[in-house]
Structure 1
């Protein structure tokens, strides 16, 4: 045998010898034996691993587990303590607690569990084990709370994840939670009725705002009361029907609830009854609705950010159920049982706590898949109610999510924090919501404030009054982090006017507090600066410049062409920028009736005429666009709206001066 043969032989001899498992491999092997109930094998391999590393915390903990399963509690305590000496972990403390309880050391056991949940308050396994220990000790209610907390962290993982993420990142954690629950404001279906309750107090300004917001979104609204129906009807906003609550739930139950708890707890009971009887939506009267309610599910429930430690995970501020829902019947029966079996009903007992238990512990996957994340209605938490009355970005940032459908103002908390809803600053979230809901001419007022001709009056003369249309088109997106582009920022260029403002962009900044506002103009606007604004210098008649603009700024939610108004430019701009529009986005073309005399049409027909023809034929034709651009518009436009410019209508009798194209949704 030559040298090389000998080397090869020795190498083969070495490679055929089995290698010893590493410590971590020992751990995995032992854990697998433990899971399959092979306790002897698990113990043997644990001891082998500990022979090479006597302080391996994982192996020490597994030995504690083996001892527990063998009923050897003394050994389990010893092994768990050794594991904790090597590494302090909540699961090790929980194992120690179980072992101590097995020895009959109840007080020390509970102390170990309390240390465990303090060390890792979001570990479902630790809470589950704590619940089992409490159950064994006969503390049923406390055990139930532990099981509920465990289930909350299992089923709503964002509640655990948010503890290690900055506050403004919490909404992002919920994007994969029940993603099928998406608001469908454009579904076109008849709006479901909304049921509310108010009694035993004058209707507050906040509640009037809430009710008005529901009516504005097109929902039939019924307000139930035990007060005088006629007097209440005179105080509610138009469109709200006041109903005698006693026709549904006897007044005796109401009186008992008020005497033994608070009126808000009775409303928890009442909502189950009304949804079972009639179906539809329940909304608390401190919810401001910013979009119509339609999630495509029979049952819908809502979650909140805070309160897990008390079992308040799901809240009844917003709920949907079909008529005759067995779940509403069950919740009504359970809530009455609790109300009449306890001398004093504690907060949440018939509301958030009961609802959370029903959905997360007793509920099936179908019910749990009907829970909305906090982002949808409770984006600002009840512990953050001060943000509603504060000026600045903090509150608006938390509402900057397209899934926000309503804003829960947490009315009860205002008095506790010494806040007054009637005295909030205009620049606060609450002040903004008041204007958005209560002032139908708010956008027109903004146009006047910044001297824009999109409003009702401009330089003392009748203006276009497009703002009345824009408010209806845009208000459901008002809080969203949209991207809006307006082309044409300069006023009176031909007349030689000078300007020191950018009226429409400033108007959009106020109206869309979370939007990116993008401007484009042939003039230089580099002198204007704002954190949410970008302005590009673009010649609307230059295809390459428009293409560069599209490449830089796509995708877009809204495009407004208020540029030269020349048909040839409007054709070109629509063709180049329409592909940058998001599904469901809006492309708006202003001043369709006015053509600048200094810009030749080059044979391009009025865009208004082309849009009218498309409404009949379904096809968009243009000598300015490429064939592909025109085809995309023909294929992708879902709706064409032609609205009037008041100025053109009154001065020249022209109709349809404002064109709106809605791109098909996803």
Structure 2
């Protein structure tokens, strides 16, 4: 475990006072699931102050997480959320949050394996088996060209994303009777997320700053069930550079969200290590 000369870390997952960079996320809904509790508390364990911006009155955030209204950053149009997904507008929210606060964005399913080094100003990485960038964990300077391009894209949506091909544009044109943002989502679900982040990072030249997948996304998305397999070797994917471990709750089969993880699986072991009782926050 890395040490910090300014502080120390308590054992057994208890949050402690450390002088590390703040992290923040967004939750749309009334109740966190146990994996979300686990991931948020994992950052507290390593001394990162954690803020969770919420659209509802969330009562089951781990002790130590600061819960704030999402409206402090931006209004969340719930009619758009209902026609897309709970995570859709988080792609806009994360950059507005970074610009306003300077915190590192973390998805609520990003587990903190090691603390983020203080000197990391640019935090993003390639993802999975395709090599595209992901935006599940993002750190950017509050004022940079990449941030400007992303916010301009969201605030002034073009007729079609500039990187789309003819087939994608034709599919968009077939969408009827919906807000423009919803039409884009229905055409390509990741057009607000990894697609946009990858494209604009290429345009600004910041793509070259990307970390390798093992730093933030060591396990490929396609293998996400491994976190619940008591015989799986999750840590076999880790390297000495691994800092965050994405658990991909959006891709998790419903059974794993409605039942406690099997003993000795990675999810079970991390709940034991950090101090989360999965049985108290299962999906309905």
Range class of TM-score, shorter chain: 0.7 to 0.9
- Kindly report which structure 2 residues correspond to 1:294-333, keeping only aligned pairs within 5 A, or say none: 294=117, 296-307=119-130, 313-333=132-152
Query: Take 2:51 and 2:148, find their aligned partners in 1: how far apart are those partners?
Result: 20
Does residue 289 (structure 1) correspond to residue 128 (structure 2)? The answer is no
Which of 405, 427, 435 is the equivalent residue of 2:243? 405
Query: Take 2:3 and 2:157, find their aligned partners in 1: how far apart are those partners?
Result: 38
Does residue 431 (structure 1) correspond to residue 268 (structure 2)? The answer is yes
Post-superposition offset of 1:432: 1.6
Residues 319/187 of structure 1: CA separation in 2 closer, same or farther (3 Å cut): farther
Contact kept, 8 Å, 2:21 with 2:118, in 1: the verdict is no
- Indicate the SS of the match to 1:263: coil
Post-superposition offset of 1:411: 0.4
- 1:247 alignment partner in structure 2: 72
Residues 389/289 of structure 1: CA separation in 2 closer, same or farther (3 Å cut): same
Residues 415/343 of structure 1: CA separation in 2 closer, same or farther (3 Å cut): same
- 1:200 alignment partner in structure 2: 29
Contact kept, 8 Å, 2:145 with 2:204, in 1: the verdict is no
Which of 363, 371, 375 is the equivalent residue of 2:204? 363
Post-superposition offset of 1:356: 0.6
Post-superposition offset of 1:412: 0.8
Query: Take 2:125 and 2:5, find their aligned partners in 1: how far apart are those partners?
Result: 21
- 2:51 alignment partner in structure 1: 222
Post-superposition offset of 1:291: 1.1
Does residue 373 (structure 1) correspond to residue 212 (structure 2)? The answer is yes
Contact kept, 8 Å, 1:185 with 1:291, in 2: the verdict is no
Which of 138, 156, 168 is the equivalent residue of 1:337? 156
- Kindly report which structure 2 residues correspond to 1:481-560, keeping only aligned pairs within 5 A, or say none: none
Post-superposition offset of 1:224: 0.4
Residues 280/376 of structure 1: CA separation in 2 closer, same or farther (3 Å cut): same
Query: Take 2:93 and 2:36, find their aligned partners in 1: how far apart are those partners?
Result: 18
- 2:4 alignment partner in structure 1: 186
Contact kept, 8 Å, 1:269 with 1:350, in 2: the verdict is yes
Post-superposition offset of 1:266: 0.6
Bigger Rg, which one:
1
Post-superposition offset of 1:396: 2.7
- 2:62 alignment partner in structure 1: 237
Contact kept, 8 Å, 1:377 with 1:407, in 2: the verdict is yes
Post-superposition offset of 1:237: 0.9
Post-superposition offset of 1:326: 4.2
Query: Take 2:34 and 2:120, find their aligned partners in 1: how far apart are those partners?
Result: 32
- Indicate the SS of the match to 1:302: strand
Report the structure, 1 or 2, having the larger helix content: 1
Does residue 347 (structure 1) correspond to residue 202 (structure 2)? The answer is no
Post-superposition offset of 1:332: 2.0
Contact kept, 8 Å, 2:146 with 2:201, in 1: the verdict is no
Query: Take 1:370 and 1:186, find their aligned partners in 2: how far apart are those partners?
Result: 25
- Indicate the SS of the match to 1:431: helix
- 1:632 alignment partner in structure 2: none
Post-superposition offset of 1:391: 2.0
Query: Take 1:415 and 1:355, find their aligned partners in 2: how far apart are those partners?
Result: 27
Structure with the larger RCO, 1 or 2 (CA within 8 Å, 6+ apart): 2
